[in-house]
Structure 1
């Protein structure tokens, strides 16, 4: 858009940018500059518009601050629940109690609708435990191939059938259990939820990895002694 003198708006804006002292020499001009009001049909002065922009910026900063506070509180609560869960596992005196305690506490502490646990190649003394029920070779290979938990929609995974109500699961997480990062899996935790957005491929898995590592350490008491 051109002015009557043939100058474009870009020319004017460029001149003002190159001449920072212009409004100092013409301070009275600022009092007469009016801008469109984004919140109504009435024009407002430049000072009023600047104040409104500043208030909007402050409101945005306040919202971000509240979000940071809320996330901090959520993280603190999560850390506390994780701490309580680990303490309960460490206090278990009978290794046979650990699998059920692990599952129940996970459901309660982290509000997971359905949780299941399976172990294979356990020590002979625990071979008759429900947690050691048969697991097919395909699922064992899948567990060993997972370097991070799988999160996604309910598919035809054999592990879904370990849950009490598999038909109610819309999303799930599969957590491999292993002695070390490079070692083969000796078990798997399954989390199931009716909420399709609870476990998704895009979600962060840091907490699930920690749960997997801690659960692995807890149930090694049911395995044969490592070489």
Structure 2
């Protein structure tokens, strides 16, 4: 015969499992449910289990409302960005003279996307464009660096050579470097140019920020500037 002292005591987990597997318990013992009180998270007072469940439900609803508000805000922001990209792309498409494209790219980025400074260099251009300012001052190291980028670089101003292309390079605290190449930005095709965006705000181009938007900017700029080759 087994001694009662050898029977393991009932644990809280045992009780929780029993209640979870016996949904009719509180229907048969409604007075137990009504008598249960627990501490409220909003003070020292005790509340009924039903009231605590209602509080938890309200908190969950509030959390869901905040998430929905964030989703709506992000949706509105994305729609605004998409509209700006569309307007910028249309402006580039209307540039008749290829020599005007580099300036149109830089001016459009500054105006449409509130980027304080923007500059670019293009190499391997057609002979008639080799004397233009945008075809100068890109060393072999800068060209190799551009080709090594398979996504936009964002981060602090660490003294990269292309930073000197910006009109007020000394004021730049953070920057984005966008390789220009035919095809997708993440391909291994050698770059034929580099687009530099600079800001005096150290957080404007943070290393942890998403770069999908900047990648689309690079691809559109590449498609337009390919006319110079």
- Kept in 2, the 8 Å contact 1:120–1:134? The answer is no
Partners of 1:29 and 1:178 in 2: CA distance? 72
The match for 2:198 among 186, 192, 203 is 192
Q: Which runs of 4+ in 1 moved over 4 A?
A: none
Partners of 1:133 and 1:39 in 2: CA distance? 67
Show the 5 A alignment for 1:98-177.
98-177=101-180
**TM-score, scaled relative to structure 2:** 0.90
* Runs of at least 5 residues in structure 1 that lack an aligned partner in the other structure: 1-5
The match for 2:69 among 66, 69, 87 is 66
Partners of 2:18 and 2:226 in 1: CA distance? 74
Number of equivalences = 218
Aligned-residue Cα RMSD (Å) equals 1.5
Partners of 1:170 and 1:18 in 2: CA distance? 61
Show the 5 A alignment for 1:69-88.
69-88=72-91
2:46 match: 43
**TM-score, scaled relative to structure 1:** 0.91
**Residue 7 of structure 1, CA deviation:** 4.3
Correspondence 1:34 to 2:37: yes
Partners of 1:134 and 1:112 in 2: CA distance? 22
**Residue 113 of structure 1, CA deviation:** 1.4
1:201 match: 207
1:183 match: 189
Q: Partner of 1:97: helix, strand, or coil?
A: helix
Partners of 1:10 and 1:182 in 2: CA distance? 57
**Residue 72 of structure 1, CA deviation:** 0.5
Partners of 2:29 and 2:77 in 1: CA distance? 53
Partners of 2:15 and 2:214 in 1: CA distance? 57
Partners of 1:134 and 1:18 in 2: CA distance? 75
- Kept in 2, the 8 Å contact 1:120–1:132? The answer is yes
